[in-house]
Amino acid sequence: MENRLKAFESYLAEGAGAAALTSAAYRRDVGEFAAFLEASRPGWDWPSVSENDVLAWMAQGLKTKKRSTMARKLMSLRKFFDFLLSREEIAANPARQVKPPRQGRHLPPRLSVDEAFHLVQGPAREMDGKELSSTQRAAAFRDMAMLELMYSSGLRVSELVGLDTGHLRLDLALARVVDGKGGRERWVPVGGRAMDALKNYLSSRAELAPPGVEQEALFLNQKGGRITQRSVQRLVARFAGELSAGRKLSPHALRHAMATHLLEGGADLRSVQEMLGHKSLSTTQKYTHLTVDHLLKVYDQAHPRAHEAGGEEDK
């Protein structure tokens, strides 16, 4: 079993170009399915697995897991059986005919423009009027640059922490981003405020780097290593609490805000898709639901006849 899973990971990396984290997730899902089968009918083997086995596993998983989670696990299983097919170890893929669970529409938490501005300006408010050491000041500039860049360019948190200094083209106001989901690269525009924040950070970044050590990571922690996703999550959570009591936001909220505000400002869907790095336009289209809600609210508040009941026709 273990050798087969290792071969599956190699198949994903070499044949499908999957990122290491994606391959590891697929492997875990397949291992979970194998454990389920072992518990229900010891002595099973892969050629004997049926569609009913997959359905039973899905049904059990849906008792405790989200539909989106089980849909992803089903995809992992399909890929694994495709791998076994390629090695002629099975005659058919029993997961191919199993439909993923229907997904409810998930709308991300909405940030207004004012709320997004307040959030990204949090480190500047903390610095205001305080005596800071050079290291503390560099860390504050780093935090400003990270928040501004996430909102400016719609980066995933994994993409943000994965940036290297060589990925920036400040002369062109661009950043080269490596998609954490599949290793694809794209160029994203960097807005003026984010540019200013990056320049301030870069001028003080050496305060966070160990003496004599060349560190390619753009955003450094106070020990000189690459900053972690968890650190960025804590940073966003700290300032999200200022927006409303008990409000919880992830770094993804800034990515959502960027997309929604661009669409509300008149950007076309295809351009937003490219900036976000979505493979499918349908993934980007979820933001149009938020935009339509916004337009309806504006109409309801502003149009002089929005609240008039039907009556005599205009003459």
Q: How far is CA 169 from CA 39, 186, 187, 298, in A?
A: 55, 13, 10, 38
- Active-site entry in 142, 205, 255, 256: 255
102 is catalytic: no
49 Cβ neighbours under 8 A, 6+ residues apart: 37, 81, 90, 94
- What is the rounded distance in angstroms from the CA atom of residue 28 to the CA atom of residue 77? 10
73 is catalytic: no
Q: Nearest 5°: CA angle at 171, between 170 and 174?
A: 50
- Write the DSSP assignment of 130-173 as a string of letters: ----HHHHHHHHHHHHHHHHHHHH---HHHHHT-BGGGEETTTT
- Active-site entry in 73, 205, 256, 278: 278
289 is catalytic: no
- Active-site entry in 67, 176, 181, 193: 181
- Contacts by 203-209, CB closer than 8 A, 24 or more apart: 203/141, 204/134, 204/137, 204/138, 204/141, 205/138, 205/142, 206/138, 207/134, 207/135, 207/137, 207/138, 208/135, 208/138, 208/139, 208/142
255 is catalytic: yes
Torsion of CA 8, 11, 12, 15, to 10 degrees: -160
- What is the rounded distance in angstroms from the CA atom of residue 305 to the CA atom of residue 231? 49
Reading phi first (left if > 0) and then psi (alpha if -120 to 50, else beta), residue 100 is in beta
- Active-site entry in 73, 156, 205, 261: 156
202 Cβ neighbours under 8 A, 6+ residues apart: 165
- Helix residue ranges per DSSP H, 41-65: 51-61
- Active-site entry in 226, 252, 286, 294: 252
Active site residues: 156, 181, 252, 255, 278, 287
